[in-house]
Each structure stands twice: as structure tokens, then as C-alpha cells.
Amino acid sequence: MDFVLLGIALVAVPVVGAVVFYNRLVGLRQLVRNAWADVDVYLKRRSDLVPQIANAVKAYAAHEQALLTAVSESRSQAMASGNDLGRRAEAEGALGHGLARIMALKEAYPDLKASENFLGLQNDLRDTEKLIANARQYYNACVRDLNTTIEAFPSNLIAGLAGVKHQSFFELETLEERESPDLGRPLAVEEDLDVRENA
């Protein structure tokens, strides 16, 4: 009788352990998917602001067309990159940088700086950037937890059998892009000149 119980225990413990580890992996994978969906929603929200911001700037700074075109192209690339995180991070970084340059134009155009529409869009963009940063941080934390579980023993055995794979972090490519765009501060004189020369 003791041998039968021992045999049942020897079979049951690994099976129960495998089920527990598998369920943990499934839960973590779902958290990663959910976290990415949040990031994607906020990135789309920012993308939706681009045409409104471009129209507001055109009304006061029509000759900044090169900058507006570059931002529109960055927006298109970001939208086209889908869930390819490497391409998406690069495109979103370029879009964020371009938007920061557009926001800096207000110092060169007092009428733009006084526009209630532009100021409202600036506040919406600033709020959206904060939401993106928070959502990206949560997504990366979920990815870290999933990847750690995939690498740890014995859950790595279950992950291999179940086909659960590592996920990529959503990281920006350069140090300049890693810094959240400062959408509210005035540019220094040399930065303002750089913005206008490159536009």
C-alpha cells in the first residue's frame, strides 16, 4: 500500500508542478500581451494628435513645411511597423523627436504660442507622452518577468515544451530618444536656430 502511495506521489508531484508552471507562463504571456495593447493604444493616441498639431502649426508657421512633412512621414512609418518592436521603437523615437521640435516652434512664433488650440494640443500631447512612458515601463516589467520565468529551472522545461518564447523589450534606440521629449520648456537660442535651419 505504501508503495502505491509513493508511486502516485512520484507521478502526481511532477504533473502538478508542470501544470502550475505552465499556468504561470500562460498568465505572464497574457500580461505581456495586455501591457503591449496599452502601449499601442497610447501610441495610436499620440499618432492621432499629429494631424491636428500639424494643422495648428501650418496656420501660424506655414514655411515650416519640411519639419511637418518629416513628422508626418515618421507617423506613417510608426503606424506601418505594427508589432515589430525594433522598427516600431525606431519610428516612434523619430516621431517623438519631431513632435518635440514642432512644440519648440512656439518660441519662434508668438501667435502660435498664444493659440489656445495649440496650447490645448500641447497639453494633450504632454499627457499622452506620460501615459506612453508609464505603459512602456509596465510592458517592459511584464516582459522581464516572463523572460525570467522562461529562463529559470524547472519552468524553462515547461516553456520549451509549450513553445513559450522570449519577448522583446520596447526600447528606444538612442540616448536622445530615451529622454522623454520636453514639450513645455523653451529652447535655448542655439537649439532654436538648429530647429529652424533643419526645417
- Residue 156 · residue 148 · CB < 8 Å: no
Beta carbons within 8 Å of 92's beta carbon, 6+ residues apart: 43, 78, 172
* Structural domain boundaries in the chain: 20-198
Whether the model pTM is above 0.85: no
- pLDDT for residue 199: 37
The string of pLDDT tens digits covering residues 30-72 is 999 999 999 999 999 999 999 999 988 888 887 788 889 999 9
- pLDDT for residue 43: 94
User: Helix or strand or coil: residue 25?
Assistant: helix
The helix or strand, by DSSP H or E, that contains position 117, with its residue range, turns out to be: helix 116-151
The helix or strand, by DSSP H or E, that contains position 55, with its residue range, turns out to be: helix 2-60
DSSP 94: H
Looking at CATH, the fold of the domain delimited by 20-198 is given as de novo design (two linked rop proteins) (1.20.1440)
Which one-letter amino acid corresponds to residue 35?
A: A
pLDDT for residue 117 is more than 60: yes
pLDDT for residue 184 is more than 60: no
